[in-house]
């Protein structure tokens, strides 16, 4: 697929990429100059593993209203991208053969991170409102060995774009507290809401501190800066993450943290996020409208309330084979099989709308629908 997407006439819905034309290049350049003028060599020196104090305080301040409580800066740890966060969680929790509970389908990057530590997976049923609580209880009742944690993306999930319904959030936290099961709440897309009201994070319902929250700047500033964060109220877990990160890279890049903090502290930042949301909303609407117009009747697809992905199913089809046909039509996507830990469901496909113009989306969906009809 990578070879194909390098060809200029191919339209790709395959990557999980933000729109590069929205990156704040000029502002980042200005902030870099300001940081060097202000901090000089300090911005290029080694720093503390937990992250520079300015970054930790900004994350705490930004998330406190969403959490419904005052987050202390010492609860925040800066990571080198949220993918490193997943790796560090795997490193401190997983021994070979341990069970992890996942949504089905789930984020491929998390599966890859946990595979490195030889995890096994217990999957929970999901529907258009996310994890089904009753299914989670059944899984935990019968699990042997008992799993190490539940991993989920509650907002605009990758790959499906689904959002965990508000009433289910506290219910899932209470179930996990009853079983003493930690939760890893991965929230890379939480600020990219197009429709409806902002929903409280699962971490806001936790009484025991057993929710590890992951956030990132990759979707609201730029992924190349590799600035992400944990919020961990459990001191023991936090200390173990710090030790694991010291062994991995000592600390996240000092200059990147200073520049990131300088930019997100400007008045332009919030308007920048609003511009991303407006652009992605229009592209979501374009893709959904094109599917309604051109997709054969058997194709099923959703309309996510935010994020970067739309999920489609072609019942009875193998989308790995469909990809071969669509490649001839000069359009590609990610087949759904990779997102199922058991690799046992093959009729889905993840469609990324954030990285293509509306014109390309319209053309690409027409090509994809021709491929579906041909296949």
Domain residue ranges of the chain, discontinuous segments joined by +: 2-16+270-374, 26-264
Instruction: For 233, list phi and psi in degrees, rounded to 5.
Output: -85, -20
For residue 4, pLDDT over 90 is answered with: no
* Helix or strand (DSSP H, E) at 27: helix 25-39
How much is the pLDDT for 97?
97
| Rounded (10°) CA dihedral 229, 231, 234, 239 | 20
Stretch 341-350: mean pLDDT: 95
pLDDT tens figures, 174-192: 999 999 999 999 999 999 9
Question: What's the CA gap between 13 and 291, in Å, rounded?
Answer: 13
Q: Residue 241: exposed, middle, or buried by beta-carbon count in 10 A (0-12, 13-18, 19+)?
A: buried
Cross-strand bridge partners of residue 127: 130
How much is the pLDDT for 5?
72
Confidence band (pLDDT; 50, 70, 90) for 2?
A: low
Stretch 320-335: mean pLDDT: 96
Question: What's the CA gap between 363 and 356, in Å, rounded?
Answer: 10
Highest mean pLDDT among 8-17, 203-212, 248-257: 248-257
The CA–CA distances, whole Å, from 364 to 14, 59, 302, 329, 359 equal 11, 38, 17, 9, 8
For residue 3, pLDDT over 90 is answered with: no
Instruction: For 328, list phi and psi in degrees, rounded to 5.
Output: -65, -25
Stretch 300-322: mean pLDDT: 97
Output the average pLDDT for the chain.
Answer: 97
Instruction: For 193, list phi and psi in degrees, rounded to 5.
Output: -95, 130
CB atoms within 10 A of CB 204: 18
CATH topology for the 26-264 domain: 3.40.640
The three-point CA angle 312-346-292 to 5° equals 15
Stretch 236-251: mean pLDDT: 98
Confidence band (pLDDT; 50, 70, 90) for 276?
A: very high
Question: What's the CA gap between 280 and 278, in Å, rounded?
Answer: 6
Confidence band (pLDDT; 50, 70, 90) for 38?
A: very high
The CA–CA distances, whole Å, from 82 to 11, 14, 26, 230 equal 27, 20, 25, 8
Q: Which percentage of the chain shows pLDDT scores above 90?
A: 96
* Tokens (6 digits) for 300: 């099923």
Stretch 351-363: mean pLDDT: 97
Cross-strand bridge partners of residue 76: 231
How much is the pLDDT for 1?
67
Stretch 328-343: mean pLDDT: 95
For residue 126, pLDDT over 80 is answered with: yes
* Residue 223 · residue 262 · CB < 8 Å: no
Instruction: For 309, list phi and psi in degrees, rounded to 5.
Output: -135, 145
For residue 7, pLDDT over 90 is answered with: no
DSSP secondary structure string for all residues of 37-83: HHHGGGGGS---TT--HHHHHHHHHHHHHHHTS---GGGEEEESSHH
Contact residues for 198 (Cβ-Cβ < 8 A; gap 6+): 66
Q: Which percentage of the chain shows pLDDT scores above 70?
A: 99
For residue 173, pLDDT over 80 is answered with: yes
CATH architecture of 2-16+270-374: Alpha-Beta Complex (3.90)
Buried b / exposed e over 305-318, threshold 16 CB at 10 Å, is bbbbbbbbbbeebe
Closest CA to 103 of 130, 75, 76, 78: 130
3-state secondary structure (DSSP) of residue 349: strand
Confidence band (pLDDT; 50, 70, 90) for 246?
A: very high
Contact residues for 292 (Cβ-Cβ < 8 A; gap 6+): none
């Amino acid at each position: 697929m990578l070879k194909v997407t390098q060809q200029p006439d191919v339209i790709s819905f395959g990557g999980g990429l933000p729109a590069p034309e929205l990156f704040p290049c000029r502002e980042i350049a200005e902030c870099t100059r300001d940081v060097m003028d202000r901090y000089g060599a300090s911005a290029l020196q080694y720093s503390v593993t937990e992250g520079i104090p300015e970054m930790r305080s900004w994350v705490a301040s930004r998330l406190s209203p969403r959490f419904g409580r005052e987050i202390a800066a010492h609860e925040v740890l800066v990571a080198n991208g949220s993918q490193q966060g997943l790796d560090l969680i795997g490193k401190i929790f997983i021994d070979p053969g341990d069970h992890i509970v996942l949504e089905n389908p789930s984020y491929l990057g998390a599966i890859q991170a946990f595979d490195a530590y030889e995890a096994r997976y217990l999957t929970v049923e999901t529907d258009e409102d996310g994890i089904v609580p009753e299914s989670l209880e059944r899984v935990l009742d019968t699990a042997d060995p008992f799993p190490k944690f539940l991993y989920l993306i509650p907002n605009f999930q990758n790959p499906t774009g689904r959002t965990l319904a508000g009433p289910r959030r506290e219910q899932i936290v209470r179930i996990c507290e009853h079983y003493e099961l930690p939760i890893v709440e991965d929230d890379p897309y939480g600020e990219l809401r197009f429709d409806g009201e902002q929903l409280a994070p699962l971490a806001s319902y936790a009484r025991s501190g057993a929710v590890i929250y992951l956030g990132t700047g990759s979707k609201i500033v730029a992924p190349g800066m590799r600035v992400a964060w944990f919020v961990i109220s459990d001191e023991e877990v936090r200390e173990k993450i710090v030790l694991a990160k010291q062994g991995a890279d000592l600390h996240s890049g000092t200059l990147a943290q200073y520049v990131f903090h300088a930019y997100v502290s400007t008045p332009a930042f919030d308007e920048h996020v609003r511009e991303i949301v407006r652009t992605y909303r229009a592209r979501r609407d374009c893709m959904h409208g094109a599917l309604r117009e051109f997709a054969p009747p058997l194709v099923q697809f959703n309309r996510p309330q935010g994020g970067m992905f739309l999920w489609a199913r072609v019942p009875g089809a193998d989308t790995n084979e469909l990809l071969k046909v669509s490649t001839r039509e000069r359009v590609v996507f990610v087949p759904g099989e990779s997102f199922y830990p058991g690799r046992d469901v093959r009729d889905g496909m993840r469609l990324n709308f954030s990285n293509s113009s509306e014109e390309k989306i319209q053309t690409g969906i027409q090509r994809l629908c021709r491929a579906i009809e041909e296949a």
